[in-house]
């Protein structure tokens, strides 16, 4: 009975994941601008962005598995930041060795700013992984995704203006989708803890802060070098909070690599590397839409690998959230399409 139930849950999750995929395909058809439609080579850059988002999506599942194997929060975040930092700096120096035109283009001031920018990365990782420890992985990613509407509100406060009608509708859709996805109408809150909710919302706030700060600091520095410097700052922050006293114990270090390597690659190497390749070509607007695939991927991974329960209501909520994220971009594109003829 249990085996049949789990197989039924997996088939159900795959069905809704397929619907999410169709949703993204239709959005791409509607939101892709004319220049991108004419240039088929942009497809590979879209794939880079999608793979970066998918990497983030499977992250919480590996963290949950590491907890189940007895590893602590400090061990997990240190292995992620340490291995990720090592790989990124290795990529920088390999690129320097193989490409004579490639140069280290940051100064002391840039390096300090970027390492300070890495503090929110470290804090987000710590708080988010603490959330994963407290509540199901599918709920943790849902709380983290609240950064989407938080970012809108922060932007309005920074610009000293009220949210537009489009932003208000988008935020409303995100909150409604969150209510459905949390299964609040079907007693789903029983899986949540008060601390888990607080940690999840703090992670969303921290990630919102990072997105705003990182978009304004040392933009002229090479993307891989920027990522390496920010992760160096995150690593220093993590080491201060969680001194790696276990580093000399091979009985801990070697088994930890089984989780530390994939968590580092999926969390700190692949996403910044692939985004640095894809975002300049795809554009920020479409990237924000494509990157939201992280949510259904995380839910699918937690259902199929961790065997967490999912329901139709939760997947409907995810679709509502995805629409809430894409809604402003869709309206903006539609508005531009109607305005363009009158301006000629």
Domain boundaries, the chain: 8-334
**CA 303/CA 289 separation, integer angstroms:** 23
Cβ atoms of 323 and 166 within 8 Å: the answer is no
Cβ atoms of 321 and 172 within 8 Å: the answer is no
Cα distances from 257 to residues 82, 228, 262, in angstroms, run: 11, 20, 8
Predicted confidence band of residue 186 (pLDDT cuts 50, 70, 90):
low
| pTM, entire model | 0.77
Percentage above 70 pLDDT, the chain: 78
pLDDT of residue 290: 74
- 217-253 residue pLDDT tens: 887 888 888 889 999 999 999 999 999 999 988 999 9
Q: Average model confidence (pLDDT) for the chain?
A: 78
**CA 281/CA 299 separation, integer angstroms:** 29
The four Cα atoms 137, 140, 141, 147 give a dihedral, to 10 degrees, of -170
- 4-45 residue pLDDT tens: 434 444 454 445 445 544 444 444 444 444 444 445 467 788
């Amino acid at each position: 009975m249990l085996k049949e139930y789990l197989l039924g849950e997996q088939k159900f999750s795959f069905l809704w994941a397929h619907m999410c995929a169709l949703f993204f395909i239709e959005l791409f058809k509607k939101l892709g601008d004319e220049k991108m439609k004419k240039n088929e080579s942009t497809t590979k850059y879209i794939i880079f962005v999608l793979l970066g988002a998918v990497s983030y999506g499977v992250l919480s599942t590996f963290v949950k598995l590491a907890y189940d194997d007895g590893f602590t929060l400090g061990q997990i975040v240190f292995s992620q930041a340490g291995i990720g930092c090592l790989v990124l700096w290795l990529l920088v120096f390999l690129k320097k060795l193989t490409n004579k035109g490639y140069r280290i283009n940051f100064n002391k001031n840039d390096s300090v700013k970027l390492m300070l920018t890495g503090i929110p990365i470290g804090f987000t990782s710590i708080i988010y992984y603490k959330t994963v420890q407290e509540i199901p992985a599918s709920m943790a990613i849902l709380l983290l995704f609240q950064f989407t509407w938080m970012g809108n509100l922060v932007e309005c406060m920074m610009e000293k203006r009220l949210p537009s009608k489009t932003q208000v509708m988008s935020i409303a859709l995100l909150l409604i989708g969150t209510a459905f996805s949390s299964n609040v109408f079907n007693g789903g809150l029983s899986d949540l803890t008060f601390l888990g909710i607080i940690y999840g919302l703090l992670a969303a706030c921290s990630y919102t802060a990072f997105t705003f700060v990182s978009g304004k600091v040392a933009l002229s520095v090479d993307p891989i070098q920027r990522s390496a410097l920010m992760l160096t700052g995150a690593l220093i922050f993590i080491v201060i909070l969680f001194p790696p006293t276990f580093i000399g114990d091979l009985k801990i270090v070697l088994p930890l690599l089984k989780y530390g390597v994939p968590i580092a690659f999926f969390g700190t190497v692949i996403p910044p590397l692939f985004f640095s390749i894809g975002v300049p070509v795809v554009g920020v607007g479409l990237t924000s839409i494509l990157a939201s695939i992280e949510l259904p991927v995380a839910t699918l991974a937690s259902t199929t690998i961790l065997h967490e329960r999912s329901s139709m209501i939760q997947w409907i909520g995810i679709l509502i959230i995805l629409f809430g994220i894409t809604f402003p971009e869709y309206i903006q594109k539609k508005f531009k399409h109607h305005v363009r003829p009158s301006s000629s």
